[in-house]
Structure 1
Amino acid sequence: MTQPSVKIKKIWVDDNDSFFELSLDFWTGRCSMNLNIFTDNEELEKLNEGVMDLANFKQKEFLWITGEDVENVSHFLSMRFFLCGNRGYVGVEVTADNKLESPYSVRATFFLVTVLSQIDDLTRKLGSFIKGEICELESLIRFFE
């Protein structure tokens, strides 16, 4: 059974619904990771627009970064979406760091490979997520097991 590689869920929202905490679950088939991040719709909109541009062939690669890769911050997440070859494959390089103290710290870099239609699925669901129509989403079914 195929399982989505990315699950995003709102776990806390401020009083104005403008700032929230997300729980992101990544699954590659070989490893899994959970990362909680604080963000807002503006940051998610940048992700959605960049991924949409990639899906529409306006660019061959898109890098989205949230947080900073320095000490004393809440998180670091980098997602690089890129076209693989000419058959409609899309690679996603994920680098995630929860910035917690040892022994709870986790830093991982891994890749997901999917198809272009899954990128369309992600942008559609992310758009609904940003509008507040849904509070969680699952997307990016892996192409290779």
Structure 2
Amino acid sequence: ARWTPQSPRLPPWPPSLEPPEPVAMDAALCRELLDGLSRLVAGRMPESKGIPVVDVFPAGAPPTPGEPTTLVCRVENVFPPDVEVTWRLDGVPVTRGVTHTHYTPTADLAFTRFSYLRAAPAAGQVVTCAVTRQGDNSSVVALW
């Protein structure tokens, strides 16, 4: 017996399907877009960012209005570890009596940071802890 190479006898293209020519053109366009976008983003790593979760509370027993106390601003879900923590008392920036901790890694691959404010807020005064990520034009705010 002798083997003769030939194309298989396939049934005709079903009329309800898109003809192969436009599909081939779409595939070529997709390849061009993929190549162009791949060159554009080559060497760039997408950066994941966590939205900080902020909470303010007294360090010890509930404070007496007008008495010195330490307020804690806990900032969680920080990634990357590059945030600015600021305090305000009735809308006025406060820098005296403020200390910050280093970033502490967490099990979920983010970071936590604490900031402390030693102050004596009077009854009715609003204390604000604001957290801003580098490069962002918005802050996450917690009130006490």
- Normalising by structure 1, report the TM-score: 0.26
Greater fraction helix: 1
The structure with the largest alpha-carbon Rg is 2
- Normalising by structure 2, report the TM-score: 0.27
Greater fraction strand: 1
